[in-house]
Amino acid sequence: MTTPRTVPGGIWLITPPSDGRLEAVLLAEPDVALLDLEDSVPPHGKDTARTAAMAHLGAAPVHGVTVLGLRVNAPGTVHGLKDLVAVADAGLRDVVVLVPKVESARELELVAQVLQETATGVRVCALIETPRALLRLDRIFASPVLGGVVFGAADYAAATGCRRTSSALWWARSSIAAAAAAHNIPSIDSPYFDLGNPEGLRRDALEAREMGFTGKGAVHPDQLPDIRAAFCPTEEEVAQAQAIVSAADRSGGQMVRAGGQLVGPPLLAAARSVLDQAGVLTELSVHGGSE
């Protein structure tokens, strides 16, 4: 862990380490499959869950592009320390370790220090879910061991007394997304917890993308299609981006006219990002653009 590695963006699907859960999660093909040892496990079940999680992660089936991960308990607790020792003893490789209740860079560096000798390639990720953490984002995100951040809306709302609505969480979400972009690390938005409200999920996921998050958490495989759709550029967005990039390629200048608007370098960079997300930028480059 001498060189920090960023975590994947996209969809993070979290599940308790119960028998059969990891296999079901992997079938849904999220970008990260995260076993949870914190909120979904009661205190009396922590030791059993930890043992099960280590066994599942160590014997996981072939999982393609999905990265495996583990949300540990807070490092300042007994179970959090036990979790880190278990990860180190298991010698797990190339997994994400999500650290909850992070309020300082020092916490992340202590986690990395515990894991650095045996847990090769582990990526440390911070769960931001307290008001104190929101006031320290720049210092936390500057940590040299940090590979990415996740927003925890439920704990943040409980700590502040606010509701889990779009307007109540707007400042926290936008602050996290902007700070992560400033430090060039991925940012994952909180899951949407109302499983019976797919329209609310779609709206929430679109807001996350509009704010600049690079991915979103999920608590059930059925949520993945809506989240994927929200983070994929629409046909209209792709068409507009193609027009901008093609006009820029033809003119060779810094400022171009496309679709009735004057486009400078920032909008051109945004258009190229849209095409990259849609997987069509290479095709445009090869064929020289389109009208």
In what helix (H) or strand (E) does residue 183 lie, and over which residues does it extend?
none
3-state DSSP assignment of residue 227: helix
C-alpha 129 chain-centroid distance: 14
Is residue 129 marked as binding?
A: yes
- Taking each helix axis from N to C end, the angle separating 46-58 and 78-90, rounded to the nearest 10 degrees, works out to 20
- Residue 201, Cβ neighbours under 10 Å: how many? 24
DSSP conformational letter for 273: H
Is residue 36 marked as binding?
A: no
The span from the CA of 289 to the CA of 280, in Å, is: 10
Q: CB of 131 within 8 A of CB of 102? A: no
The span from the CA of 1 to the CA of 67, in Å, is: 17
The span from the CA of 109 to the CA of 78, in Å, is: 18
Is residue 93 marked as binding?
A: no
The span from the CA of 33 to the CA of 28, in Å, is: 9
Q: CB of 162 within 8 A of CB of 137? A: no
| Annotation: binding site for Mg(2+) | 129, 155
| Annotation: binding site for substrate | 71, 129
| Annotation: binding site | 71, 129, 155
